[in-house]
């Protein structure tokens, strides 16, 4: 399979049809998506202003992939530095990595509720987020990613689980069985969730079109 860098160049290639350049962007997201695939794609559609009709602004695809690449380069640099330190720890007989490996991404269950800032601005918190999530309950309710102490909200919009989200940025902080006891109701919620993801996929959501 071609690398992230190869697909990034395909996004830049103005001789390719816009829909193929979009396909290359989506392939980049399969390799690096800090918020999860759909949430990161939704973010890029808004931040880069990718229109439903790609011919209206094909340059938006370049803006999107460059924002993604900027965050990925930051993660790669942190990972390379961590690997150097980890090799030294192994030579010293340290079996458990300290600090933990920089995280490539965390989980935002609701693909429409995620941080609003540029990916590179959020990545430092995402990279150490897995470690900070373990101690979240003891951090006075402050989110390990956005740092806001706005409390939490419950979300069961996919019909598969009931998620505890940061009320500030939507980060998934926990998951329990779905709070929908009726089977028919769960099926309806799952169908609605698939429809919302299709609207994200086709850039048909109102908030994406206004971006």
Please answer whether residues 200 and 45 qualify as being in contact, where contact means their C-beta atoms are separated by less than 8 angstroms. Answer: yes
pLDDT digits (tens, 9 = 90+) for 90-148: 999 998 888 889 999 999 999 999 999 999 999 999 998 776 676 554 455 678 898 87
Both tokens assigned to 130: 């897995």
Both tokens assigned to 204: 């048909």
pLDDT digits (tens, 9 = 90+) for 147-157: 877 889 999 99
pLDDT digits (tens, 9 = 90+) for 46-57: 999 999 999 999
């Amino acid at each position: 399979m071609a690398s992230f860098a190869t697909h990034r160049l395909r996004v830049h290639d103005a001789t390719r049809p816009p829909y193929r350049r979009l396909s290359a962007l989506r392939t980049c997201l399969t390799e690096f998506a800090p918020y999860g695939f759909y949430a990161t794609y939704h973010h890029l559609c808004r931040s880069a202003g990718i229109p439903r009709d790609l011919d209206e602004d094909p340059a938006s695809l370049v803006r999107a992939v460059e924002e993604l690449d900027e965050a990925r380069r930051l993660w790669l640099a942190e990972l390379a530095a961590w690997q150097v330190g980890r090799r030294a720890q192994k030579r010293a007989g340290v079996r458990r990595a300290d600090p933990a490996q920089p995280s490539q991404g965390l989980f935002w269950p609701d693909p429409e509720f995620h941080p609003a800032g540029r990916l590179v601005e959020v990545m430092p918190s995402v990279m150490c987020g897995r470690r900070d999530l373990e101690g979240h309950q003891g951090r006075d309710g402050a989110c390990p990613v956005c740092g806001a102490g706005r409390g939490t909200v419950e979300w069961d919009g996919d019909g598969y689980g009931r998620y505890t989200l940061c009320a500030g940025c939507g980060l998934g902080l926990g998951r329990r069985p779905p709070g929908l006891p009726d089977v028919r109701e769960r099926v309806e919620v799952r169908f609605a969730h698939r429809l919302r993801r299709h609207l994200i996929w086709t850039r048909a959501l109102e908030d994406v079109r206004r971006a």
